């Protein structure tokens, strides 16, 4: 008795377990009809493997047009910002709270920078780092206030009149000890 087409197809695909696969192999080897059917099945499989992948887009477009004509889909895709998202209420509340906190932090940051944020950090080597998030004009005003604090002069020294100042050499600069004339 010859096996039906489904069993032969399964046997070709290696889906028949022992000992039945051996029995089928023996039968196909001795049955001319089954050999012919197996050859046809193999031919179909080869043609499917060798055929190019079909282009599904026209078919999808036809389906889409059909849905649109029936009012089951819109003509254009819905933009992301118009899409509705269903969220659990606690998650929505948490999201709103997070947005409010971030907005508050941003507002405070803007206010702080507009009024001149100052950060003073003591450095390990004894120095001080001063960061002032303010316009340069404000910083300059702060530094000028130091000058006012001591009432220091403008830094112009008027030399006496009728004094003959003539160069006697190149300008020199150094520690007092480097000039023997002044050494104690």
Partner 1 sequence: MIRRRLMVPLLLAAAAVAARAEDMKIAEALKALLDNALEVRISARILPAEAAKESWTAESTRLTIPGRSVKVRLEGDNVQIYLVCTPYRQENGDMLLVSQGQVWFTQPPEKTAKYFSTFSSIPVTYGEKVLFFPLGLSETAGQDKDYFNIELEIVIVPYEKDAAH
- Judged by beta carbon, residue 10 or residue 142, the one nearer partner 1 is 142
Token couple for 97 = 């709270």
Binding segment toward partner 1, per CB under 8 A, in 2-10, 46-54, 73-81, 143-151: 143-151
Would the CA dihedral through 133, 138, 143, 148 be positive or negative? Answer: negative
N-to-C CA span, the chain: 131
Interaction mask 84-113, partner 1, x per CB under 8 A: -----------------------xx--xx-
**CB 109, min distance to partner 1, A:** 10
- Judged by beta carbon, residue 5 or residue 104, the one nearer partner 1 is 104
Q: Residues 121, 128: contact at Cβ < 8 Å? A: yes
Q: Which helix (H) or strand (E) holds 42?
A: helix 32-50
Q: Residues 3, 30: contact at Cβ < 8 Å? A: no
Size of the site for partner 1 (CB under 8 A): 50
**CB 110, min distance to partner 1, A:** 10
Report the residue count for the chain.
184
CB neighbour list of residue 128: distance below 8 Å, 6 or more residues apart:
120, 121, 122
**CB 129, min distance to partner 1, A:** 10
Identified binder of partner 1 from the candidate list 29, 79, 160, 184, rule CB under 8 A? 160
Binding residues for partner 1, rule: CB under 8 A, are 107-108, 111-112, 115-118, 120, 125-128, 130, 132, 142-143, 145-147, 149-150, 152-153, 155-176, 178-179, 181-182
């Amino acid at each position: 008795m010859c096996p039906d087409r489904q069993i032969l197809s399964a046997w070709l695909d290696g889906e028949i377990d022992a000992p039945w696969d051996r029995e089928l192999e023996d039968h196909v080897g001795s049955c001319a009809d089954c050999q012919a059917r197996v050859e046809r099945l193999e031919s179909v499989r080869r043609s499917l493997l060798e055929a190019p992948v079909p282009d599904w887009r026209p078919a999808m477009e036809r389906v889409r047009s059909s849905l649109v004509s029936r009012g089951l889909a819109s003509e254009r895709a819905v933009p992301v910002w118009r899409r509705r998202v269903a969220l659990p209420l606690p998650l929505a509340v948490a999201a709103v709270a997070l947005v409010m906190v971030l907005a508050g932090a941003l507002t405070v940051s803007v206010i702080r920078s507009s009024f001149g944020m100052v950060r003073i950090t003591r450095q390990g080597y004894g120095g001080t780092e001063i960061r002032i998030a303010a316009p340069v004009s404000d910083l300059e005003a702060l530094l000028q206030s130091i000058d006012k604090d001591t009432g220091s002069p403008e830094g112009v020294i008027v030399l006496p009149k009728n004094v003959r100042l003539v160069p006697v050499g190149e300008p020199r600069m150094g520690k007092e000890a480097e000039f023997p004339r002044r050494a104690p």
